[in-house]
């Protein structure tokens, strides 16, 4: 059974940092591009970051560019999101997600349950 | 950035009736489109990718169509469990973008 389990969320002050983790199981993690997707309270979905299977490339949304860093450790079946210089508008549930195929250019069929990040003083 | 626009924002339909949800892209995305269903407190659930390829376990009452800039999600006979928020997402090019959602509510 495919599982994605996020952790690391919590309450942080503006300007602070947080590192999210996502542990994958039930599939060949090292074969798949992976995403971080967030959802602000009562709002829609926003694809934040993408990283290729071998970490050869990564992309970030403009809203987080220069502040968030996506990484992975295939030996640990783990995906990470280092979030720096956090702002109130970064408050959201953060999901890790996997596309249906090895390529990132598909829908995402597996999602974690999400971890809540709250940025507030 | 490709802008995705969904309509209507809210759709009120009676159980057993048909629901038609629309999604428009600001430029052609071929069939690089996914549809998701989301219920409160849950992650999104993939319904379709490739605009019309049903994801695993999705009932046949759901259908997806369209290409280019115009897409449609149809639910032929609404069941109680179908009332939720629906999102369309383009993945033709990064930045992947999502419509604002259509809330399907019980009439």
| B95 in Cβ contact with A62 (< 8 Å) | yes
Q: DSSP secondary-structure letter at B96?
A: P
The 3-class secondary structure across B60-79, one letter per residue, is: CCEEEEEECCEEEEEECCCC
Which residues have CB under 8 Å from B9's CB, separation 6+?
Answer: B100, B101, B102, B103
**pLDDT for res B90:** 97
Confidence of residue B33 (pLDDT cuts 50, 70, 90): very high
Interchain pair A107, B97: CB under 8 A: no
Confidence of residue A106 (pLDDT cuts 50, 70, 90): very high
Residues of B in contact with A59 (CB under 8 A): 94-95
The pLDDT tens digits for B46-83 are: 999 999 999 999 999 999 999 999 999 999 999 999 99
For residue A111, cis peptide bond before it (omega within 30 degrees of 0): no
Confidence of residue A120 (pLDDT cuts 50, 70, 90): very high
The pLDDT tens digits for A49-65 are: 999 999 999 999 999 99
* Chain B residues touching chain A at CB-CB below 8 Å: 32, 34-36, 38, 43-44, 46, 48-50, 55-56, 87, 89, 91-92, 94-101
**pLDDT for res A103:** 87
Mean pLDDT over all residues of chain B? 96
Strands lying side by side in the sheet with B62-67: B4-7, B19-25, B70-75, B62-67
Q: Write the Ramachandran bin of B66: left for phi over 0, alpha for psi from -120 to 50, otherwise beta.
A: left
Task: Return d(Cα B36, Cα B75) in angstroms, integer.
Answer: 13
For residue B8, cis peptide bond before it (omega within 30 degrees of 0): yes
Percent of chain B exceeding pLDDT 90 equals 96
Q: What is the dihedral of CA A88, A93, A99, A103, to 10 degrees?
A: 20
Q: How many CB atoms lie within 10 A of CB A25?
A: 11
Q: What is the dihedral of CA B72, B45, B99, A66, to 10 degrees?
A: -150
């Amino acid at each position: 059974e495919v599982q994605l389990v996020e952790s690391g969320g919590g309450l942080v002050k503006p300007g602070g940092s947080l590192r999210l983790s996502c542990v994958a199981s039930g599939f060949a993690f090292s074969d798949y591009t992976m995403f971080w997707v967030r959802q602000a309270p009562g709002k829609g979905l926003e694809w934040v970051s993408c990283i290729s299977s071998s970490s050869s490339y990564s992309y970030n949304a403009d809203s987080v560019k220069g502040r968030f860093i996506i990484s992975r450790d295939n030996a640990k079946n783990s995906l990470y999101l280092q979030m720096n210089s956090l702002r109130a508008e970064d408050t959201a549930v953060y999901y890790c997600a996997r596309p249906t195929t090895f390529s990132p250019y598909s829908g995402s069929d597996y999602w974690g349950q999400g971890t809540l990040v709250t940025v507030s003083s | 950035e490709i802008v995705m626009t969904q309509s209507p924002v809210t759709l009120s339909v009676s159980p057993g009736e048909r629901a038609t949800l629309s999604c428009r892209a600001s430029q052609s995305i071929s069939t690089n489109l996914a549809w998701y269903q989301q219920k409160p407190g849950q992650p999104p659930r993939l319904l379709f990718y490739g605009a019309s390829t049903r994801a695993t376990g999705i009932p046949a009452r759901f259908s997806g169509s369209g290409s280019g800039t115009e897409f449609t999600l149809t639910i032929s006979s609404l069941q109680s469990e179908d009332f939720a928020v629906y999102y369309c997402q383009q993945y033709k090019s990064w930045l992947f973008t999502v419509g604002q959602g259509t809330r399907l509510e019980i009439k």
